[in-house]
A and B are shown apart, each in its own frame.
Chain A
Amino acid sequence: MTAIAPGTLPKSSPRGSAARARLLRGLLPALSLALVLIAIAWLNPRAISYFGFTLMLNLAIPIALATIAQMFVIAGNELDLSIGTFVGFVGCITATWLREAPLLGIVVLLGSIGAYALLGALIHLRNLPSIVVTLGMSFVWQGLAILVLPKPGGKAPDWLLSIMSFKPPYIPFPILAALLIAAVVHFGLMRTSYGVILRGSGGNAAALRRAGWSLLRTKIVLFALTGLFGVLSGMALIGITTSADANIGNGYTLLSIAGVILGGGEFVGGRVSPIGAVIGALTLALAASPLLTFMHIPPDWQVAANGAILIIVLAARVLISRRER
């Protein structure tokens, strides 16, 4: 046994290919985005400009924020089916109380983040399926939104309007905002020492508990972060649309889930990527309407085209992954 030279040990080939596959998977969201951009550039070259991007990516900021919100719960192996109506609720508060009685508005929004934290605690302590709890909460947020703003209307606070219509030099605001969101969340979740604990709680909760960490705390933090980014998403949305409607955010639940998955995230195991999620959200925002308008898709079939794009992007992902093998 002593004569064995280290060099005779098996080479780490399976691990190397696993790492390569992961790298490529990590690049896929960016490739999908590039593909959609190329399609747009080909169909309408004038869209690829400062104003073109500002216009096309207008709604990308709230979508990206909602996707990040969804990503935090997914990192902890949960799912939030209420994020869409929550964004709508925040929108209604933003367009009414936050303008008319800022202090009350701020308190209510902070309270709603607190509600998310409590929900996390409840889900952990009672070992509840988050899908059902958030399904129930989606009714609650929608009901509250209707109570706050029974008819579409209201107006965004002026400071919010001016933030969202900010025109920085050279780089369109939505792109700048997306970069900022991705960088901040990537640092927080992927680089800090507590971010490791948060992701670990999705990877192997039992191991974390044995190492003395509180799983109640990780769940509360993850849900509170979801609430925080949900609030930001709702405010950003109203800053763009200027007025609110109780149903304004309903589509965001599915968009946010699709964004996380397009961005390379997985439903279980704490495998998520903030940068990927933001890219996934941008892809969805671009594919959703600008691309279809340029392609002259009749309104009846726009929804179908959305579905088809989602399928094509994912199919491309599978093809590339397979070739890698």
Chain B
Amino acid sequence: MLKANTDIVRLNGAEKHFGAVRALNGVDFHVGAGECVGLVGHNGAGKSTLMHMVAGTLRPDGGQIAVRGNQEASYSVARALELGIRCVFQELSLCPNLSVAENTRINHPSLAGFGWRRRAADLIRAKLDEIFPDHGISADDIAGDLSIGRRQMVEVARAFTLTREPLHLVILDEPTSSLDAHTAGQLLSFVRRFVEQGGSCILISHVLGEVLQNADRIVVMRDGKVVAADAANAFDRDKLVAAMGGAEGHQKAAAEARKVEAGALRVRARPARQQDDKELVARAGEIIGLAGLAGHGQTDLLLAIFSAASRAKAGIEVTAPVALVAGDRQSDGIFSQWSIAQNIGIRSLARLRSGLLISPQREAELAEFWKQKIGIRTPDMNNNVFSLSGGNQQKALFARALGSDAEIVLMDDPMRGVDIGTKLEVYDLLREEAAKGRTFLWYTTETEELDNCDHVYVFKNGRIVANLGRDELTEEKIIQSSFGDAA
């Protein structure tokens, strides 16, 4: 491997504060030419902050940034783009009202003048074809009409399109979070090709396997500092987890030991597009998985069950109160003006009343209880919910559902972009709650998570195509059902 001594970008002693929170605490970080750097760490470890600095969207409070050996005094987004540094952010940043081609135009000032529409369409189409050969996206599609996975594909492809500005470094922040295994594979092999041709890449992913297989060098962050950095082959999964810290004590095997007794019927539901007599049945105390490729009707069924709880609906029977844990936090879950405590309490207002009024004391008690139980990391539950890192925001959403009277908890791919430590903590909690008799319906895009389920329904084209018990549950079997012909 070419260990070029030219750095694309180098940060020395980078610092950043948000109020009293130290997001970055003197970080040294660099990316060489022709190198793929993997960046891992729990949510809130400072990865995103660091990347915002590299991309020029955040100004450091201290430290220096140098690009190709030159100190940059007034670094900005515009400067970064000029120097060939681009970023695919974790929050989707397409304009939903514009077409795919028009969204491409936004990142390329030179796509202007006569014939720009055709040039923009050609540019993005060629790149999509190159990265995702079977993408099925047209340059005229309006971004808002695309599924979340396809939007992510467009966004990734757009970052690699080339016009007047150079392209040296692409930051990919959780680029596979909304992709299924097939398209994620296509993307990662493209990234390898890009790096082999001399490009550089920073890959942030919560799927440690992706990082271990695709990065040349791995940097581990924790509490705003770099705690380990070495060649990728010096790490394995356990070493990474240990370096990230916080989750050593958990045992994945715990799932195996659980014994399920069939309880009372909680949910019986047939997807609207189901043609045969297959249906989803969930009983008290069960954890049921919903699997299959992303966007094949799993979320639709969860939403149908959710609305059936308050208004009778044909083909769906729900016998207990329902709560939902959203996966798309910003659009489906978080109330941005409110404190963490208020965000947790909203599902349980009726119980928090004394007389006609909501009791602030009871609300605080509920919040404090779940702060301890689920480990929300904050000095004060009365802080705004956005003071939390993404993973802790997700914990607040779990607390909202688990703290309510709901006996049925629907989970809509809730672990999207959540770090492994948080995940393991939540898995334990789910098993504990299920043992107490709660029912969980869990849609997930990550096959590993299905290990926690008692049995799994596989979806394809809006229908249930398989019902796998826990003993027949293997990744091959799920993939087979997801791609096979619908019965």
Chain A 104-139, CB-CB to B under 8 Å as 1, else 0, gives 000000000000000000000000000000000000
Please tell me which stretch of B11-19, B106-114, B316-324 contacts chain A, meaning at least 4 of its Cβ atoms lie within 8 angstroms of it: B106-114
Contact B95 A203 (CB under 8 A): yes
User: Measured between alpha carbons, how far is A32 from B112 in the docked complex, in Å?
Assistant: 36
A55 interface residue (CB < 8 Å to B): no
Interface check B461, CB cutoff 8 A: yes
A19 in contact (CB, < 8 A): yes
Asked if A9 meets B134 with Cβ closer than 8 Å, knowing A18-B145, A196-B102, A200-B106, the reply is: yes
Q: Please report the C-alpha to C-alpha distance between residue A271 and residue B301 in the assembled complex, in whole angstroms.
A: 30
Known contacts A15-B147, A19-B142, A212-B78; A9/B136 CB under 8 A: yes
Q: Which of B94, B95, B483 contacts A8 (CB 8 A)?
A: B483
The residues of B that contact A271 with a CB separation of less than 8 Å are 97
Residue of A nearest to B158 (CB): A211
A185 touches B (CB below 8 Å): no
Determine whether the beta carbon of A1 is less than 8 Å from that of B78.
Answer: no
- Contact (Cβ within 8 A) B95 A14: no
A210 and B77 in contact, given A4-B483, A203-B95 (Cβ under 8 angstroms): yes
The answer to whether residues A193 and B81 also contact, given A4-B182, A4-B483 and a CB cut-off of 8 A, is no
Assess whether A294 is interfacial by the CB under 8 Å rule.
no
Q: Which residues from chain B contact A50 at a C-beta distance below 8 Å?
A: none
CB distance from A247 to the nearest CB of B (A): 36
Q: How far is the CA of A206 from the CA of B93 in the complex (A)?
A: 7
Bound state CA distance, A95 and B185, in angstroms?
69
Q: Which of B118-154 contact A (CB under 8 A)?
A: 133-134, 136, 141-142, 145-147, 150
Within 8 A of B (CB), among A8-38: 8-12, 14-15, 18-19, 22
Specify the chain B residue showing the minimal Cβ separation from A14: B147
Across-interface contacts of B106 in A (CB, < 8 A): 196-197, 200, 207-208, 211, 213
Q: Is residue A204 within 8 Å, beta carbon to beta carbon, of the partner chain?
A: yes
Cα–Cα, bound, A197→B105 (Å): 9
Residues of B within 8 A of A270 (CB): 95, 97-98
B293 touches A10 (CB 8 A): yes
In chain A, positions 238-275 with a C-beta closer than 8 Å to chain B are: 269-271
> Quick one: which of A10, A14, A191, A203 contacts B97, CB cutoff 8 A?
A203
Q: Which residue of B lies closest to A7 (CB)?
A: B134
B479: A residues at CB distance < 8 A? 1
CB distance from A206 to the nearest CB of B (A): 7
Check if A1 sits within 8 Å of B182, measured CB to CB: yes
Chain B residues with CB under 8 Å of A269's CB are: 96-97
In the complex the two chains form, what is the Cα distance from A196 to B112 in whole Å?
Answer: 10
Q: How far is the CA of A9 from the CA of B98 in the complex (A)?
A: 25
Give Cα A4–Cα B76 distance, bound, in whole angstroms. 43
Contact with B along A203-226 (1 / 0, CB 8 A): 110111111110000000000000
Interface status of B117 (Cβ within 8 A of chain A): yes
Q: Is the CB of A199 within 8 A of B181?
A: no
Q: Find residues 41-83 in chain A having any chain B CB closer than 8 Å to their own CB.
A: none
- Determine how close the nearest CB of chain B comes to the CB of A217; give it in whole angstroms: 13
Picked from B57, B78, B95, B483, the residue with its CB within 8 Å of the CB of A204 is B95
Q: Which residues 41-77 of B have a CB within 8 angstroms of A?
A: 55, 57, 76-77
Q: Is the CB of A194 within 8 A of B112?
A: yes
Residues of chain A within 8 A (CB-CB) of B133 are: 6
Q: Does A202 contact B (CB under 8 A)?
A: yes
Q: Which of B112, B145, B182, B483 contacts A15 (CB 8 A)?
A: B145
B190 interface residue (CB < 8 Å to A): no
* B57 A210 Cβ-Cβ under 8 A: yes
Neighbouring A residues of B96 by C-beta, 8 Å: 203-204, 269
**Residue B84, interface by CB 8 Å:** no
Minimum CB–CB distance from B431 to chain A (whole Å) comes to 31
CB distance from B174 to the nearest CB of A (A): 16
Our pick among B95, B182, B296, B461 for the contact of A199 (Cβ within 8 Å) is B95
Query: Which residue of chain B is the closest to A19 with respect to CB atoms?
Result: B145
Q: In the complex, which of the residues A15, A193, A202 has the most CB atoms of chain B within 10 Å of its own CB atom?
A: A193
Contacts of B136 in A (CB 8 A): 9, 12
Q: List 6 A-B contacts (CB under 8 A).
A: A193-B105, A196-B98, A203-B98, A204-B93, A207-B95, A208-B95
Q: A15-B146, A204-B93 are in contact. List 5 more A-B contacts (CB 8 A).
A: A6-B134, A197-B106, A210-B55, A211-B106, A212-B77
Closest 6 CB pairs of A and B: A203-B95, A6-B134, A207-B93, A203-B97, A193-B112, A18-B145
Q: B interface vs A, CB < 8 Å?
A: 55, 57, 76-78, 81, 87, 89, 91, 93-98, 102-103, 105-107, 109, 111-113, 116-117, 133-134, 136, 141-142, 145-147, 150, 181-182, 185, 293, 295-296, 461, 479, 483
